[in-house]
A and B are shown apart, each in its own frame.
Chain A
Amino acid sequence: EDQVTQSPEALRLQEGESSSLNCSYTVSGLRGLFWYRQDPGKGPEFLFTLYSAGEEKEKERLKATLTKKESFLHITAPKPEDSATYLCAVQEGYGGSQGNLIFGKGTKLSVKP
C-alpha cells in the first residue's frame, strides 16, 4: 500500500484556469510534508515545507495547505511556465526510516496558452 498518493496523475489546464493538486498520506507521525516542482530531465526544485495541520504557505501563484490526512497545492491563474511535474514527499517521525523522504508518484501539470 502506497504511503503517499498523489492525484490526479496528470492535469491539463488552460492558462488562467485555477485548480488543485492532492497529496494524501498514511504515515506514522508526520515530521514534515514537502512539495517539489520538477521539470523534465532536471532535479526537483523545493517549493514548500508544511509541518502541522492548518498550516498554509504561498509563493506567487502557488498555495500549499495541510490537513491531518492530506495536502493540497492550489494553483491560481496558472501560466504555461507552471507546466511541470509536482512531487509531494513526507518525512516520518517514527520507525527506522527517520529522515527519509517518501515520495508520491507526482502530478504532471500541463498549462496551455
Chain B
Amino acid sequence: DTEVTQTPKHLVMGMTNKKSLKCEQHMGHRAMYWYKQKAKKPPELMFVYSYEKLSINESVPSRFSPECPNSSLLNLHLHALQPEDSALYLCASSHALGLATEQFFGPGTRLTVL
C-alpha cells in the first residue's frame, strides 16, 4: 500500500478564517512533508517532519502552522491567509529523512483564499 490520503479535497476560505488540512499515511514512513504547488509550477517544499519532529522549515510565513500528532498524521493549520496563498497543497511521506528513497504524494487539497 503506497497511499497517502488528504482531506479535504477542496477548501474555500476567507482571509479571517482558521482551517486545517489533514494528511494520513499507513506505510510506516517516518518522514512527512508539506508542499505548496502553484499552477504550472513544480511543488515547493514548506515543512519536513522526521520522527514527528519538525526538521526543515523553508522560511514559510507564520500564518501556516504544521503539526505532527503521531507518525501517521500530519496537519497544516491555516490562519489569516492571503489570496496569493491559493494553491494545491500536497502532503508526502518517505521511509526516513536523508535516505535516497522516493516520496509518495497524496492527491492534494485545492485551497482558494477569497
Residues of A within 8 A of B (CB): 31-32, 34, 36, 41-46, 49, 51, 87, 89, 91, 93, 98-101, 103-106
Contact = CB atoms under 8 A, between A and B. Distances in A.
A99 B43 contact: no
Interface residues of B, number: 28
Closest 6 CB pairs of A and B: A32-B100, A103-B42, A43-B105, A31-B100, A99-B97, A99-B98
A43 B103 CA distance: 11
Interface of B: 2, 4, 6, 31, 41-43, 45, 48, 50, 56, 88, 90, 92, 94, 97-108, 110
Contact of A106 (B42, B88, B104): B42
Contacts of B50: 99
**For A44, A99, A103, which residue has the most chain B Cβ atoms within 10 angstroms?**
A99
Given A87-B42, A101-B45, A106-B42, A49 B100 contact: yes
Given A93-B100, A100-B56, 10 more contacts: A32-B102, A34-B103, A43-B90, A44-B105, A46-B105, A98-B97, A99-B50, A101-B45, A103-B42, A105-B41
